[in-house]
A and B are shown apart, each in its own frame.
Chain A
């Protein structure tokens, strides 16, 4: 019950006029970012992060997380109306959303998408409200070995659950760790991997990497396709909304399933994108109308959208309680916490009650505001997409350059952004995953320091990771996930040879 009191206190923090205004600004910016190609949740938040340095942390995180919700909503608009996923997690929404729009049922598809996003997010927030304090209380007992084993588990689960080749996932992740190590080693004061360069002293900032990988890389991929926006008009009137709402309760089984998948994938760092695909796939297999999927089935919009939002929201749970972000955007928000001088992790719930509960309360409010905003403003966003690509593309690149510069006021970072952009393009073409790289870049220092502290305690013996049942089982689970692709292959080959 203490948590309810905390939550009410959080509402009193979030419900100031200033915070509500920033919430609205955040949602609008977020939808804009979600709608525009090349700008997404992760790099959008990264670009805007430097602007929040002077704000109070609670206001800043409320605005940034609202940008995140807005981007989640915005991704659906382009998918349904233009068959262009504005975000990777809305790819699955195009499968049924675009056919619906072509049948003239765009309003229905959009309403279904927004509403199910809202439902997914709402359940995920409720889960965060009640689970986060429990996890945080539990994690207070963690020592360095436990922290490292949880971080290890995070990274291993990427390898185990990634669809692409596991060694590519490892390579991307290790590149992230290597880039994180560049610069001054805070423990020994030695310079690492700088090779005498002054510019490399600062190290690689993950914000610059995110802007390059996701922003510039995305523009290059879009350009390769020679893409031109073509799409239908969007008209939503209250009648369509109400009619769709009457219809939606029919899909409650799909919604519940999608929410569960989303929450699970968000807490484990699967993220919103695999969650949406998985949810769509399972809904297609389980639904009575499964055969109709892909030809314009409302249920095919409900399933991925609910899961994507549930995952996007619950990704904040491990970020707040353990300091381990469940998605690239959560990783950027985590970077923000560090910059504002807040140490993410279980102590946050003890020392920064206002901040944590203000954020959680703003998740409820932000999603309600978000739903209202997107339902009323869809036509405007659709109009933005009719701006020709030759105008949008350079403007987005300019925004990326400004964003990369403002991180450290360093021109060298703009150059780095370009290099990361080319890298992002190559990664996409060769199916290297981007998320592990970003997460490793953000968590690199933290993972290294908990590893070092654990090694200090044990005088260099790895046995500390099996020193008690808790850390032992986490480490073993991590190793199991790491070796999962290998085990899976062995199983398949033993079955086929029989």
Chain B
């Protein structure tokens, strides 16, 4: 997985930076857990352990493991110059991640069916280079199949938007 494609440029983010950042993030979450546990009481109440008793230790373990990982990354020299990924790889990841994020946002507004159709269509045209003769049937057919499966067969209501409302659902 760490094998980089030969003619791709490494990004400026090194393994060291990524590894240390994630480890420190763990430690920070741990700090947050400790803080909140102390707020609700991490000691011994009248009726036994308080609500923060167990999470407190979890927080401590998170802080310790995060800090140790961050420090041991610094000592691991091979990490210093190895790139986290190539620019092209990060670009490809963002090519999926960005539209997916937009898709999730669109679900809040348009409901899941219309957003899914647009998402599949965008992906097929943009990354697959398909023309409309294949794109339209797939992009409409898949959400329609899900609509029948969930709303009709399993009677599970999925989020719907203005267009479904106009059609009377």
Q: Which A residues contact B (CB, under 8 angstroms)?
A: 50-51, 165, 167-168, 170-171, 174-175, 177-178, 181, 185, 187-188, 190-193, 195, 216, 219-221, 223-226, 388-391, 393-395, 397-398, 401-402, 405-406, 409, 411, 414-415, 417-418, 421-422, 425-426, 428-430, 432, 448, 451-452, 455-456, 460
Known: A181-B54, A225-B1, A405-B112. 6 other contacts (CB 8 A): A185-B51, A223-B93, A223-B95, A398-B116, A401-B112, A409-B157
Closest to B44 in A: A460
The one of B33, B51, B123 in contact with A178, judged by C-beta atoms closer than 8 angstroms, is B33
Q: Say whether A426 contacts B22, CB under 8 Å.
A: yes
Contact of B62 among A174, A192, A415 (CB under 8 A): A174
Task: Show 14 A/B contacts (Cβ-Cβ < 8 Å), sorted by A.
Answer: A165-B69, A191-B40, A192-B51, A193-B32, A220-B93, A223-B93, A390-B124, A397-B100, A405-B112, A405-B158, A405-B159, A426-B22, A430-B19, A452-B54
Chain B residues, Cβ within 8 Å of A417: 104
Q: With contacts A221-B1, A411-B108 known, is A51 near B154, CB below 8 A? A: yes
- Whether B14 sits at the interface, judged by CB under 8 Å, is no
Interface status of B140 (Cβ within 8 A of chain A): no
Known A-B contacts A195-B36, A223-B93; A181 and B55 likewise in contact (beta carbons under 8 Å)? yes
Residue of chain A at shortest CB distance from B159: A411
Evaluate whether A391 and B62 lie within 8 angstroms (CB atoms) in the complex, with A178-B33, A226-B88, A397-B103 already known. no
Contacting pair A167 B65 (CB below 8 A): yes
CB distance B104 to A418 under 8 Å?
A: yes
In the bound complex, do residue A219 and residue B54 qualify as a contact, i.e. CB atoms below 8 Å apart?
no
Interface residues on B, range: 35 or more
In the complex, the answer to whether A181 meets B85 with C-beta atoms within 8 Å is: no
Q: Which residues of B sit under 8 angstroms from A193, Cβ to Cβ?
A: 32-33, 36, 55
Q: DSSP class of B's interface residues: helix, strand, loop or mixed?
A: helix
**Complex contact A455–B49 (CB within 8 A):** yes
Given contacts A171-B26, A224-B92, A402-B158, contact A460 B49 (CB under 8 A): yes
Nearest CB in chain A: distance from B105 CB, A: 9
Question: Is B84 within 8 A of A429, CB to CB?
Answer: yes
> Quick check: is B6 within 8 A (CB to CB) of the other chain?
no
**Chain B min CB distance to A89 (Å):** 16
Docked CA distance A447–B118 (Å): 44
Residue in B44, B50, B100, B128 whose CB lies within 8 Å of A188 = B50
- Given A185, A191, A219, A402, which contacts B112 in the complex, CB threshold below 8 Å? A402
Q: Which single member of B30, B33, B156 contacts A50 (CB below 8 Å)?
A: B156
Provide the B112-131 mask, 1 if CB < 8 A to any CB of A, else 0.
10001001101110111010
Q: Flag whether B10 is at the interface (Cβ < 8 A).
A: no
CB-based closest 4 A-B pairs: A390-B128, A394-B123, A171-B65, A390-B127
B50 and A422 contact, CB distance less than 8 A: no
In the complex the two chains form, what is the Cα distance from A188 to B45 in whole Å? Answer: 10
Given known A-B contacts A391-B124, A401-B104, A192 and B68 have beta carbons under 8 A apart: no
Question: Which residue in chain B gives the minimum CB-CB distance to A440?
Answer: B58
**Residues of B contacting A411 in the complex (Cβ-Cβ under 8 angstroms):** 107-108, 159
Q: What A residues does B103 contact at CB under 8 A?
A: 397, 401
Given A402-B150, A455-B49, A397:B119 Cβ within 8 A: yes
